[in-house]
Amino acid sequence: MNKIKAVILALALTAFVAGGVWAADPKPQTTCPVLAGNIDKSVYADYQGKRIYFCCKGCDAAFKKDPEKYMKKLQEEGVTLEPAPAGPAKK
């Protein structure tokens, strides 16, 4: 009986440790999805409840032409986007 408890405890501990190693931490957005430059938090677009930052004003315009292209890129990079604040959207 003690051997069974030891095996169960070892398996549980292994699963716990492995889960901590493999769990993905949120990756904040630090680069522009259009030109890959450092973001400027004063240049952004809100899309589907998320806030996307860009390096310059031209990049937000490019994003607005094909937002799904850039959203897919951010998702593939594992970026966790900030939620867009409630209220009227920036034009």
> What pLDDT shows up at residue 11?
59
Cα distances from 77 to residues 2, 21, 23, 71, 81, in angstroms, run: 46, 19, 16, 10, 11
Per-residue pLDDT tens, the chain, 91 aa: give them: 677 766 565 655 555 544 444 546 789 999 999 999 999 999 999 999 999 999 999 999 999 999 999 999 999 999 999 999 986 655 5
At residue 33, the pLDDT reads 97
Per-domain residue ranges of the chain: 24-91
Give residue 55's pLDDT: 97
Q: What is the pTM of this model?
A: 0.68
- Distance CA(30)–CA(54), nearest Å, equals 9
